[in-house]
Chains A and B, each alone.
Chain A
Amino acid sequence: MASSMTDSHRRFLQVLMSNGIIDAAEARRLHRFFCEQHKVYYAHDKLDDFIGIINTYLRPLFMEIRKGRSEDNGKIFYALVNLAITEATKVASDYAENELELFKKTMDLIVESESGYASSTNILNLSDKLQSKKMRKKEVEHVLQKFVQDKWLSERHGEYTLHTRCIMELDQYICETYQDVKKCNICHSLAIQGQFCETCGIKMHLPCTAKYFKSQPEPRCPHCNDIWPHDTRDLVQPDSHLSPRIPRTPRRISSSEPK
């Protein structure tokens, strides 16, 4: 391993361990703050290299810091994700068996829905069908709150979708488990929320759509060229000035893989 870890790297890693996910602005702020604090070489455009050093030490431990985009606003986030399930992770006991089962079923609802959201009513109905210990309404509400607090789900107007952090961590799992899940036609990442073309069925993230149609006078589907059926005027613009993603390793790194 070429470069070594310094306290500035360790602090950055601890923040990610503590929060799970942080936005790009916060990541840049901490990069600068910690490098100044520990008198380590700092260059404002070297954040990805800084993180790269941490990752060389993290990957043998089945973790890495990943860069991803929010489906809501296209903003860039950094999340600490697990790369594999091992004996150690099986021991983690944040959630009970029935809570995990509820999460799995909620995720089914979300992924298979058209909007990418599941209503709290539908989730409550799920809790009746659990194979493990049944949950009362209050318990379901409580665990949903926990999922939101721990950033596995996010909530809007009583409906739940997968948090950016969750999509970043479970990306491969989702692709493997849900055969029909759609990828965004523009950025080719998993699309849980998005707009569909009614003619050919392709899906696009809202921020990707906003960016794509910005330069087009008449919004047309990039695949079949039919008029795009949705309103494209008020879509949120992603941060265009930020550099594109650091290349992600799309495969799960198996622990026995030679480095």
Chain B
Amino acid sequence: MDRGAWRATVHGVTECTRLSDSHFQVVCINNINFQRKSVVGFVELTIFPTVANLNRIKLNSKQCRIYRVRINDLEAAFIYNDPTLEVCHSESKQRNLNYFSNAYAAAVSAVDPDAGNGELCIKVPSELWKHVDELKVLKIHINFSLDQPKGGLHFVVPSVEGSMAERGAHVFSCGYQNSTRFWFPCVDSYSELCTWKLEFTVDAAMVAVSNGDLVETVYTHDMRKKTFHYMLTIPTSASNISLAIGPFEILVDPYMHEVTHFCLPQLLPLLKHTTSYLHEVFEFYEEILTCRYPYSCFKTVFIDEAYVEVAAYASMSIFSTNLLHSAMIIDETPLTRRCLAQSLAQQFFGCFISRMSWSDEWVLKGISGYIYGLWMKKTFGVNEYRHWIKEELDKIVAYELKTGGVLLHPMFGGGKEKDNPAPHPHFSIKHPHTLSWEYYTMFQCKAHLVMRLIENRISMEFMLQVFNKLLSLASTASSQKFQSHMWSQMLVSTSGFLKSISNVSGKDIQPLIKQWVDQSGVVKFYGSFAFNRKRNVLELEIKQDYTSPGTQKYVGPLKVTVQELDGSFNHTLQIEENSLKHDIPCHSKSRRNKKKKIPLMNGEEVDMDLSAMDADSPLLWIRIDPDMAVLRKVDSEQADFMWQYQLRYERDVVAQQEAISALERFPTPASRLALTDVLEQEQCFYRVRMAACFCLAKIANSMVSTWTGPPAMKSLFTRMFCCKTCPNIVKTNNFMSFQSYFLQKTMPVAMALLRDVHNLCPKEVLTFILDLIKYNDNRKNKFSDNYYRAEMIDALANSVTPAVSVNNEVRTLDNLNPDVRLILEEITRFLNMEKLLPSYRHTITVSCLRAIRVLQKNGHVPSDPSLFKSYAEYGHFVDIRIAALEAVVDYTKVDRSYEELQWLLTMVQNDPVPYVRHKILNMLTKNPPFTKSMESPLCNEALVDQLWKLMNSGTSHDWRLRCGAVDLYFTLFGLSRPSCLPLPELGLVLNLKEKKAVLNPTIIPEAIAGNQEAAVNPSSHTQLVGFQNPEDDHLAKEASCNMSAHQQGVKRKADTPLGSPLEPGQILEKNEDSSKVKLKIRFSSSQDEEEIDMDTVHDSQAFISHHLNMLERPSTPGLSKYRPANSRSALIPQHSAGCDGTPTTKPQWNMELPRKGTGIHVSVSHLEGKEQPPLEMSVHTAAAAPLSVFGKEPASSKHSEHHHHHHHEHKKKKKKHKHKHKHKHRRDGRERGRGPLAFPSPAGGRSARSPSLSD
């Protein structure tokens, strides 16, 4: 409890904490069936109650079928209730994303382990209450099984002949953020640490890889199976537990024997090569952190159909098998090494050190990203590092400016959620599971950039000291026996991290944190200057745009570097509120006559041709924020010659790149020359040279009328890569020098972008590329040329220009452009050759498919998705599938094909590979068939329904997928009710209101309600919503106060935050509150004493379970008719909810209590009598911790008579079987669960699978 209290003070948001600490957990999976894709096992949690009166224990569990729960060997009743299965009750016709997001966020927090919630609620048997009051250990034993899991565990079972091991079948755990609950019941939080014993019984031919040390493997008697026993003695959260089982080939790392690598059969040689580098990464991290790798062993597993490329878990990382490569592959090597290094960084920060709460995630992502950056710098050099930082910075800037701000620490600063205007209206950032995936990617990117900013502020040395401190505290803590306060040292929190920083460095970084961590947005600078010759002063004007979305105002120091004739000088300007202009004194007089070398920033002195300069000014170039010490976008104005000087002579690759992108605006021979010079310069960073290629192509196109000589880059390429004697023939491939390899690959691609005066690709260029392909000869090369050839196809595709079409004739072979014929010839040959001699990762097929789509789009080839659809099928390599799907997505957009859209959405629902499903949604969002502001024949009610269903209930097994569906829905329809839906009838207005405030329908006349709806719908603005709500809340508040007056539970008043003023602008909060209000009113109006315990229900949970219960009860089509009437009745006192509420409340208990043999009669009143005491007890303590699972039931009280009826029936059944054997009851439970099948929603089926209540 003390931890909880502390946590609450730190964050001010954790209203309720766990009432117990688990400290040891056993996971035992004793049967894995690959054929049926099922898992059977049990878990055993050892729990210390931290409060007396603990009578309910909440755990996380999804998908699992739970057979039996025992606490200290006593049977315990439990309820399984997952509100995220179906977010909104399906009769809601409004399809309003705003509503959905709120409901979803509420549903997620209703089961959030950090708030002490969970899907599985176990009642502590009354025999143990005394035991609990003494805070003694509880052992919870749960038997569960998992049948065809759709998330959490992924089975890969190729359909070939042979045993499972021969087929290469395997299974592994996966998921986004804390997703362990998908495969075994646990407290699925990063902040709940315990030690682990993991046992997996698998076929003798299989290997089970899991966390910790492999203690032993034991064969069964018949020698057909063996059990792997793993022990993890370092306290670890359940979310960091993982598993991979398959017929793996095993490689003990030759450099570090405690590291073991696993891969699928036949890939061992690739594994050897791929992992041969890993030990260097280990050495690097251990050295900079001055800390040994915290776990006693490390395992890498490479599996197929990976959820993400890299997933780090405690002492084990799961990688995509597609990262494996042989020594011949150039391009994949750095990428794979980066993945390895990334996962290893996360081993330290992320696995070993875990996070306190979601709002502390940025620290871990930041640190692991930051040390990974250090590794990059060491391995690939400073240029590569700076280039990467620039790339990441550009990414985050582009995202924030386009989509909205990224807030690293959403709940910092104490108090409630700040009045931070939600940067992203369509999802809540309060919880990781509600985030858009793209947002999360950007979040990670921003986190490490901010960590770098902190380093800039306090120096790297201190930074590493802080990390070392965190690690050494954690490792001291990890070796302790169970003591919750010690173990909490292994959790990092924002405040703890900042404290360490100030302790170590003695510096105040608060402003920095405030700017970048507590606030979202980036800075947008506009720089321009004038040189005042008289004063010899540079007048620099720096403007900011802080009004556009995703921007913020920057106040503070800003570095400006000025390169003058006499050298390079740094100036630190103070950016203040109102000052725009800054005078910077120049050091040098202009004196071009003296021939003198010009000193650069790095001390180098160079000769320059200064003739291009402005004769009056000594300025060569000016850079604003050269160190990228601000998360910013800089648009600075300079003369073209200054950019050219900057490109040629500035040694910083970032500056060179900036110059290149600026030069696009200056298509002059001088720019051309500067770019060509850079291209030729061997010392120049290869990425800069590559960028110069594309810039040169653009300049050439702008200068097309005055361009002289051969097409840009042609002679250069010829000189560099072609034979001396026959310049049209390329040398045989030799990729020993990677720099020139990359240049050789890129130049033709850029050249293909050249256009002549007719806006066609010059014939000369096409012939040149075709010749490159023709004469390509890789026989003497040590490396594979697959990427090179793929880029040649990309070049061909780049050369394609729109077909000249005479009155929309049909594209046939006869009217095929001869150039295109040549291109097609090559593509056909390449694509066919791929079938016979496939290239690594099928890069060539991927490029061919893209090229074919380009030809289709440009009208040379009939537009037809069938080819792509065949390549998109399951069974092709994933890269091919994605490329093909991208083409189909594009086709769907261009041809507005409803059929293809349906095909894609079907695949989203049914494809066996989670990554592909995710990717389809992602691509549809990026390249949508239509958007909210667009009229499209595709936009119809059926599609709305389909997508709604997908995100509402069809994706409950995968957080990432659901968020992807939400993103797509947002792109297509926006926040409010999709415009293609028919206008709601008046009867339905109520539903819409329900999310705003329940009181509306009764209090506000319908005409007004209609108005309000109109106000909400068209502009879909959060502000509007926010504006409207306070009123409603106010009403709600009043109502609640009144009502609570005649509630008898005095203590309850304390725990309901209703009396406190609501924060404006927080939809979520409001939503919860309003639901709270709703319940309040209802219960008070029912005046049913037995229902008072409802009050302790965690509000959102009640809200959710209300929806859920709706679903779990079998319903009829008439249900939707009931709903509005019902909620209305709930609100209007005359309609006493009690009358239908009472009977529906109890059946769940009904089922359990008899089983528990407490000798209770089935009669309702009796049950309630029994129920009272525990609830009473909990009321005392529950101020901070609403536990009352069982209180949920009353939420269903408003259900229709139909439910009522059903439960009566149910009860009768109960009565009948009361004395029969247990499993009878279980069947009953199942029947109940099965009930929803009648209900035509997808979630119905799902909830049937997950037993909502069983013995």
| B is a partner of A | no
Residues of B participating in the A interface, judged by any CB pair closer than 8 Å: none
